[in-house]
Structures are given as C-alpha cells and as structure tokens.
Amino acid sequence: MQTKVCLAPLIKIGCSAAETLKGKAVERHNDNDRHARSFRGAATAMLCSGIEFFDVTLYAIFALTIGRTFFPSDNPETQLLTTLAVFGASFVARPFGGVIVGIFADRHGRRAALILTAGAMATATAVIALMPGYDQVGWVAPAVILLARLVQGFAFGGEIGPSTAYAYEIAPQHRRNLYASWQPAGQGLATMVAAIFGLALGAILGQGVLEEWGWRIPFLVGSIALWIALFSRRAMSETLPRAAEAVRSSGGRTIVELLTRYPTTLIAIASQIAFGTISIYVCTYMNTYLQKTFALPPTISYAATAVAGLSICAGSVAGGALADAFGYRRVIYWSRGILLFAIYPLFSVAHTSVYGVLLLSSAFPFLAMVSGGASFGAITGALPASLRSTGLSVTYAVVVCLLGGSIQFVMTALIAFTGDQLVPAYCMVVATLIGIAGVPWLTHGQKSGVLVAVVP
C-alpha cells in the first residue's frame, strides 16, 4: 500500500511529462504544417509573378526580331528605337494598373487581384504570339502589338504590390525578408529562362527561322504556362485572417492617405525601387546592348543574358536571407558600397573578351541584387497591411513608368549620340547613389535595421 502511495507522485509526474512532450510534438507538427503552407502559398504567388515577368521580358530579349517583324524601317537604329519606344509605352499603363489593382487588392484581398492580373497578362501575351506581321496586315500589326503591350503593362503594374504583400504576409516572421526577395529573384529567373529560349531556339531552328517565326514560340509557351499557373492561384488561401479583415475594412483609405501620412516612407520606397528597376533593366538590356555595341553574335549575347538572370536570382535570395540574419541596412550599405567601386571596371573589361562579357553578366547583377533582395522585405513591411498593396503597386508602377520604360531607350540613344559604350555604367553609378541615399528614411515599422513585424 505504501509502495502505491510512493509511486503515485512519480506516475503523476510521468503522465504530466508525457502530456507536455505530446503537446510540444503537436505544436512542432502544427508549426511545420503552417510553414509548409506558407512556403507553398508564397511559392505559388511568386511563380506566377515570375512567369508574368517572363512574358514581359521576352519583348526586350527579342527586340531586334520584333522590330523587323512589326516595325519596318530602312534605318536599323530607327527601327530599334521604335521597337524600344513601344516597349517603353507599356510602362505608361503600369501606374493605372497599380492604382486600380492595388486598391482592389486592399479591399477584396490579394488572391482575387492576382487572378485578375494573371488572366490579363496571359491574354495579352497570346495576342503577341499569334499576331501576323506588318507584311501580312500592315499597320494593324504594330497597333495591336502596342495595345497588347499596354495590357501587359497594366497587368504587371498591378501584380507587384499584391504578390509581394502576399508573400510577406504569409511568411514566418523570421523569414519575411527572404520570402519578399523571391519577387526580384523570380524576375531574374524569368530573364534567364527567356534568354535560354532565345539561345536554344537559335541553335535548334537556326537564326533565319528564329527571326521568321521561331521567336513566337516562347511567347506562346509563356501564355500557356501563365494560364496553368493562374488555376494554381485560385487554390491559394487569402493571407492571414487578420490581414484579410483589415483589407476588407480599408475601402475608405485612398492614395491621398498614403501621400499625407507616409510621404517620407514613399520616397524611401521609391528610391529602392528606382535602384532595383535600373539594375534589372540594365541587365535585361544586356542582350540588345551586347549585339549592337560590341557586335557580338546572338548566341553569346543570349548566353550573357541568361547568366545575368541567374545572377539576379541568386543575388536576390542571398540578400533576403542575409537581411533576415543581419538586418537589411548592413546588407544594403555593404553590397552597394562594393558595387560602386566595381561598376566601371566590370563594364570596361567587357570590351576585352568574351570572358569579360561573362564576368560583367555574372558579377554585376549579383552585387546589385544582393541589396535589391534585402530591400524588398523592408519596403513591404514599411506600410500597414490596409495600404500595402496600393502603396507598393503605385510606387513601383510610377517609378518603373518613369525609369524602366525609358532607360533602355535613353541608353541606346546616348550611346548612338556620344559614341561612349560605357553609358550603362554611368547610369548604374547614379542609380546606386540614389538607392543608398533613401535607406535612412526607410524606418516606419522597423527598428535598428532589423524588421519588426507589422501585424497584417
């Protein structure tokens, strides 16, 4: 009897310990399940966003061929400038997409907005793939291409805010910078795949067939892939319930509130987007730049663009991970400081050999996007959930409209006017200084350079 009495407390302690261990195991299982769902949701959103950027990037990758198909001219430089002008015209539609889709996402949720942008992009890309050339239908061809590019611009202008906000909100708190960095990483991956398409199709079909009709294949593939990805977006859950509640109650908040309550935050966000925009579009311009400036064969320029895309992807992910570990400010200052000293030598050495071209295509995008990846989580967390999609979409769209839509046209014109082949290097020095200058203002919702959770 005494033995039973003595053992009773031990049994009770053992049962209590077993319950505690069981509870911890269940908690770990639930945490793992939540993290897996977060990963799948963010990956789905960013995969589709990457495909959209792939569809947009194809126009730049095949600019010379598209110019000969839809914009005939006796002067090759005039033809290229016309093609790039239409490329830039699509950016005019981005602010409209940013405002309309951004407000829609902040009122009705991220998922519905992302389905809308994916459908519009898939349709416009299919139109470009299937449109007959100028020789078949005359001026109808360039007019329809212009309209399709405007739709693409509207869709992508409304895509960035909701997709980045979704990834940031669904991520575990200690991985928010990493998940947000998937946005520029996806753009780099899209650039790489687009260049590989150009390289592979040129090798398989031959340059003549590629310029005649083979360039349409990646546009068609991009449209079909986006329709498939769109249905995966339909299965995504809305981000955190509290975020969804905030979103649905924020209908009265407008652009005016953003401008009056968060002016310095918007300026800081704009400076980071300006740096990232110029960096990425200098990289995507690499194909046309190398062919026209250095007279390199298309195979080398496509390979260089593919390497640049891979470097953008790797640099962005590395920057996001480092920002989670050490704080975004340290990562941005160090990487951009190194970039400032490396820009001119990298562009200069590209003149010397193919190895110099590949060094430029790998080292420059990586250094640029380490800081770019680190900044995406910072700019996303700088705004409250109820204004996040609108603020990101509009700021991104306006900056890209002003810079991304003109940077390739301006660089081509300046190179033709001055004869200086290092114009892209000078543009990157200015962009880097702008990006560094805006970091101190990026403080709302953050502390000591390490993101503090902004509860959605």
* pLDDT tens over the chain, length 456 residues: 555 555 566 666 666 665 655 555 545 545 556 677 788 878 888 888 888 888 887 887 777 788 778 877 665 666 666 666 777 777 788 888 988 998 888 888 888 899 999 999 999 999 999 999 888 888 888 888 888 989 998 998 889 888 998 889 888 888 899 999 999 999 889 888 888 887 888 788 887 888 888 889 999 999 999 998 888 888 787 764 454 454 454 444 567 888 888 889 999 999 999 998 888 777 766 656 666 666 667 677 777 778 888 999 999 999 999 999 999 999 999 999 999 999 888 888 877 776 777 788 788 889 999 999 999 999 988 888 878 888 888 898 888 888 876 777 788 788 888 888 788 888 889 999 999 999 988 864 444 344 443 333
Residue 331 CA neighbour count, 13 Å, CB half: 30
Alpha carbon separation from 318 to 47, 48, 170, 428 (Å, rounded): 18, 21, 20, 21
Per-residue confidence (pLDDT) for residue 244, from 0 to 100: 45
Nearest to 132 by CA among 80, 85, 69: 69
Per-residue confidence (pLDDT) for residue 339, from 0 to 100: 93
pTM summary value: 0.79
- When the candidates are 3.40.50.2020, 3.40.50.300, 3.40.50.970, 1.20.1250.20, the CATH number that belongs to 46-451 is 1.20.1250.20
Name the pairing type of β-strands 450-451 and 446-447: antiparallel
Per-residue confidence (pLDDT) for residue 91, from 0 to 100: 79
Per-residue confidence (pLDDT) for residue 452, from 0 to 100: 40
Per-residue confidence (pLDDT) for residue 122, from 0 to 100: 93
Q: How many CB atoms lie within 10 A of CB 430?
A: 12
CB contact at 8 A, 368 and 431:
no
* Phi, psi angle pair for 355, to nearest 5°: -65, -35
CB contact at 8 A, 357 and 300:
yes
Largest CA distance in the chain: 108
Angle at 88 between CA 433 and CA 103, to 5 degrees: 80
Q: Which two tokens stand for residue 438?
A: 């805006």
Q: Which two tokens stand for residue 277?
A: 């925009």
